[in-house]
Structure 1
Amino acid sequence: MNPQVTDYINNAPAEQKQIMEALRQLIHESVADVKEEFKWSRPVFRAGKDFTYFKTAKAYLTLGFFDFVKLNDKQNKLQGTGKDMRHIKLKKISDIDREELQEWFKTVAV
């Protein structure tokens, strides 16, 4: 665990802290040999390459995905206009769809 990522999580508002702790755990459960880095003022997770990140905002948490074109986004949750990246917004812990996110992490990590 990267201490800068831990500090970022610990300094977030309570609701976002809870979401980030759950996501961090899910990422580590989903992807073998995942590494945590702190880039662009946010936690970034990599397994050979960067595949996901999260970032706090005032009213939600942004969970971003590199190589988003690989994802099966049946419900059109992904937002953004970037060429290689898209994100979802999480406002509460119940917004986390563990099964879907686990599949997405595995897909973009390869």
Structure 2
Amino acid sequence: MIPLWMFPLAIATGNTILLKPSEQDPGACMMLAELAKEAGIPDGCVNVIHGQHDAVNFICDHPDIRAISFVGADTAGKHIYERGARNGKRMQCNMGAKNHGVIMPDCNKEQALNQV
């Protein structure tokens, strides 16, 4: 459920990723996984899971998954955020494509706000 443009950061920092594409159009995620393999990213670093509610709940509940990043609709995002947070995961949900930036508490707020 991680946004496609963020997966290189996860890989570069030593993490693996699990992509859960839309069940309506999984093509882009599948192509991305194939391109990652062709580029030499080791097996097991970029993973794809297909499904609907059961797949989402599996991701939210699995003890080895420590963080979830989601982009999508408000209803799904609220469910994912609540269920993942209840299971102790770090959560980041971009719902309705309106919160594309994060301003951390220790930043220079004036500079950050001018950039957003």
Fold similarity call, TM over 0.5:
no
- Relative to the length of structure 2, the TM-score reads 0.29
Q: Which has the higher strand share?
A: 1
By relative contact order (CA 8 Å, sep 6+), the higher-ranking structure is 1
- Relative to the length of structure 1, the TM-score reads 0.30
Query: Radius of gyration: which is bigger?
Result: 2
